[in-house]
Amino acid sequence: MSMQGHTVWQGAGRRIHMQEVGLRDGLQMEKAFVPTADKIALCNALSAAGLAKIEVTSFTSPTAIPALKDAEIVMREITRRPGTVYTALVPNLRGAERAIESRTDELNLVMSVSATHNLANLRMTQEQSFAALAQVVVMAQDAQVAVNVSLSCVFGCPMEGDVAETDVFGWVQRFVDLGVRGITLCDTTGMAYPTQVHQLTAAARARWPGVEFTLHFHNTRGMGLANVLAAIDAGADRFDASLGGLGGCPYAPGASGNVCSEEIVHALQLMGYDAGVDLAQLVAAAQRLPALIGHDVPSQIVKAGPRLALHPVPADFEAIRARAQAR
Catalytic site positions: 249
Give the C-alpha separation, 257 to 298, whole Å. 8
Q: Compute φ and ψ for 36, nearest 5 degrees.
A: -55, -45
Give the C-alpha separation, 312 to 266, whole Å. 22
Beta-sheet pairing, 146-152 with 85-89: unpaired
Give the C-alpha separation, 65 to 321, whole Å. 59
Give the C-alpha separation, 298 to 290, whole Å. 10
The 10 Å CB-count burial string (b at 16+, else e) for 209-242 is eebebbbbbbbbbebbbebbbbbbbbbbbbbbbb
Residues in the chain: 327
Beta-sheet pairing, 17-20 with 53-58: parallel
Q: Which of 172, 162, 240, 241 is nearest to 206 (CA)?
A: 172
